[in-house]
């Protein structure tokens, strides 16, 4: 059964990467979440997509130049016109603590492609181990050096490289970096690639899948999972499908 992972939480309806969007994704019936993490100036792992706080909050500046205390003063719902209640930028630990109360899968995307965030992988892994969530987390990144480092640090946690253009026989590439999955941009995930990867034991979770026709295709082909802004729409389509 194709799993539905809520991209930045239920971000089609709630402020992205906030506890509100995670809680609403779980309530809606999503199988899991996709979230993004960055590192603050004082070394706290926080859940936010961009290197800068400008797009999603009422603050300005790079996450790496702000302390966790600075970030706590910001409102991560400020730029979301559909949502009026203040929402904090979550500490990664807060999200993990909440995950212990449910059964969601969580794809943690390490946003270390622009700034390397020395030590971030160690911190992320140590927190996952602290909450004993190793078997419910998938670590992904566009930085494939980081994927290899995550495997070296924690071979018990699944990893998956993210990519946006075609890779030749990506299942072989995934195996070569010890990943059990691949996270291609939807355009790089035609059915033949999905099927060959899955036949070779590699899970495929394309992003970001928001159109009905694309969801239908992925359900039809039996893709492992897909990452969507709108888990409610995906579930409606899934439930209407013949069994
Ligand atoms: O992990 C899938 C997707 O989130 C990758 O792109 O920019 O939305 O983090 P982005
Ligand atoms: Mg992401």
Please name which ligand lies nearest the alpha carbon of 5.
Answer: 1
Ligand nearest to the CA of 50: 1
For residue 220, the tally of other CB atoms under 10 A from its CB is 11
Q: In this structure, which residue's CA is closest to atom 7 in ligand 1?
A: 49
pTM of structure: 0.98
Q: Which of 139, 205, 208 to mutate to test the pocket of ligand 1 (most atoms within 8 A of CB)?
A: 208
Q: What's the average pLDDT block by block, 10 residues per block, for the chain (243 residues)?
A: 98 96 98 98 98 96 98 90 86 98 98 96 98 98 98 98 97 98 98 98 98 98 98 97 84
- Indicate the Cα dihedral angle 126, 128, 132, 136, nearest 10°: -150
Domains and CATH numbers, the chain: 3-240 (3.20.20.190)
Centre of ligand 1 to C-alpha 240, Å, is 27
CA 48 to ligand 2 centroid distance, Å: 9
Amino acid 78: pLDDT: 80
Sign of CA dihedral 124, 30, 163, 41: negative
- This complex has an ipTM of 0.99
Q: How far is CA 157 from CA 67, 137, 163, in A?
A: 28, 7, 20
114-123 pLDDT tens trace = 999 999 999 9
What ligand 1 atom has the least distance to the C-alpha of 36? 9
Tell how far the Cα of 207 is from the centroid of ligand 1, in angstroms: 7
86 CA to middle of ligand 2, Å? 22
The bound ligand whose nearest atom lies closest to the alpha carbon of 47 is: 2
Q: How far is the CA of 138 from the centre of ligand 1 (A)?
A: 13
Give Cα 179 to chain centroid, integer Å.
16
**Does residue 49 carry a catalytic annotation?**
yes
Q: What is the pLDDT of residues 205-239, one digit of tens each?
A: 999 999 999 999 999 999 999 999 999 999 999 99
Q: In whole angstroms, give the CA distance from residue 75 to residue 18.
A: 10
How does DSSP assign the chain, residue by residue? --EEEEETTTTTTS-TTSHHHHHHHHHHT-SEEEEEEEE-TTS-EEE-SSSBSTTTSS--SBGGGS-HHHHHTS-TTTT-TT--S--PPPBHHHHHHHHTTS--EEEEEE--SSS--TTHHHHHHHHHHHTT-GGGEEEEES-HHHHHHHHHH-TTSEEEEEESS--SSHHHHHHHTT-SEEEEBGGG--HHHHHHHHHTT-EE--B---SHHHHHHHHHHT-SEEEES-HHHHHHHHHHS--
At residue 84, the pLDDT reads: 77
User: Number of C-alpha atoms within 13 angstroms, CB side, residue 32?
Assistant: 19
Relative to the CA of 49, which ligand 1 atom is closest?
9
Residue-level length of the chain:
243
Active-site residue (options: 7, 130, 144, 183): 7
pLDDT tens-place string over residues 190-210: 999 999 999 999 999 999 999
CA 192 to chain centre: 24
| Ligand 1 atom showing the smallest separation from residue 111 Cα | 9
144 is known as an active-site residue: no
């Amino acid at each position: 059964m194709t799993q539905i992972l809520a991209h930045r939480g239920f971000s089609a309806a709630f402020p992205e990467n906030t506890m509100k969007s995670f809680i609403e994704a779980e309530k809606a019936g999503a199988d899991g979440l996709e979230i993004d993490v960055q590192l603050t100036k004082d070394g706290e792992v926080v859940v936010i997509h961009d290197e800068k706080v400008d797009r999603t909050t009422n603050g300005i500046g790079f996450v790496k130049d702000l302390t966790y205390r600075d970030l706590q003063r910001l409102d991560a719902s400020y730029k979301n016109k559909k949502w009026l209640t203040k929402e904090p930028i979550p500490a990664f630990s807060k999200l993990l603590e909440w995950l212990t109360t449910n059964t969601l899968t969580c794809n943690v995307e390490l946003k270390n492609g622009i700034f390397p965030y020395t030590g971030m992988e160690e911190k992320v892994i140590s927190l996952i181990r602290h909450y004993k969530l190793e078997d419910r987390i998938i670590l992904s990144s566009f930085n494939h050096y980081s994927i290899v480092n995550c495997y070296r640090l924690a071979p018990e946690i699944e990893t998956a490289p993210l990519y946006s253009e075609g890779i030749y026989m990506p299942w072989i590439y995934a195996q070569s970096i010890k990943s059990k999955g691949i996270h291609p941009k939807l355009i790089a995930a035609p059915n033949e690639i999905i099927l060959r990867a899955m036949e070779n034991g590699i899970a495929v979770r394309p992003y970001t899948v928001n159109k009905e026709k694309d969801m239908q295709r992925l359900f039809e082909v039996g893709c492992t999972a897909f990452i969507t802004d709108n888990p409610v729409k995906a579930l409606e389509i899934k439930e209407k499908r013949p069994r």
